[in-house]
Amino acid sequence: MKLALFDYGAGNLHSLAKGLEGAGARVEITADWTEALASDALVLPGVGAFGQAAAALPQDRDRVREALEKGLPCLGICLGMQLLFESSEESVGTGIGLIPGTVRRLETSVVPQMGWNDVETSADPLFAGVDGLVAYYANSYVCDPADAADAIAWTEYDGVRFAAAVRRGRAWGVQFHPEKSSAAGRRILANFVSAVEEAR
């Protein structure tokens, strides 16, 4: 099984690649969309700014969105989750547009949110075996799906409640960083790898 870890050209992808490899996946870091979409799954990491990452998407966003709609498993992390939406208040740029909704600035007294926070999870297989999830966050923007059913987990920070995770088909997005979230985060990555295995 080969997972494509997409490289937007910003940040260190080592810890995420290591976490996925620890779950049994073979990880290829790539900036080539043809290679990425031909893999068994796509991982969109949480590094960089929305505009820069959106600029790294193919000019024809339909290629990516249609691959996800047809069942290509995908995990978007932090910024990667936000790219599943169409646009962000952070900067100019067009995302994949798989999930209808908005990405807005976190309206709290302290921004960004940095550190550990509780996550209220659903029964989604991504969270199998994870009870009382406390995850690591580093975000200034949050996602508001137009359809509440697309949200599969929630977090509250400084009185503001927002989607901690979303899902559409076999595409998941998490606002937190599982690769930095200790044993529970490693289990989430392993659950994603298991979902990819089932989809093959």
Q: Is 69 a catalytic residue?
A: no
Q: Is 177 a catalytic residue?
A: yes
Report how far residue 186's alpha carbon sits from residue 115's, in angstroms, rounded to the nearest whole number: 17
> In the chain, where do the E strands start and end?
2-6, 26-30, 41-44, 74-77, 101-105, 113-118, 120-121, 134-139, 141-145, 151-157, 160-168, 171-174
Dihedral pair phi/psi, residue 50, rounded to 5°: -55, -45
Q: Which of 14, 143, 179, 198 is catalytic?
A: 179
- For residue 75, what are the β-bridge partners? 43, 172
Report how far residue 182's alpha carbon sits from residue 41's, in angstroms, rounded to the nearest whole number: 23
Evaluate whether 86 touches 95 at the Cβ level (below 8 Å): yes
CB atoms within 10 A of CB 93: 18
Dihedral pair phi/psi, residue 163, rounded to 5°: -70, 125
Q: Which of 86, 90, 143, 177 is catalytic?
A: 177
Q: Is 14 a catalytic residue?
A: no
Q: Which residue from 87, 89, 90, 75 is spatially nearest to 40, judged by alpha carbons?
A: 75
Cα dist from 12 to 16, 34, 45, 48, 183, whole Å = 9, 22, 10, 10, 20
Q: Which of 78, 86, 90, 143 is catalytic?
A: 78
Residues marked as catalytic: 78, 177, 179
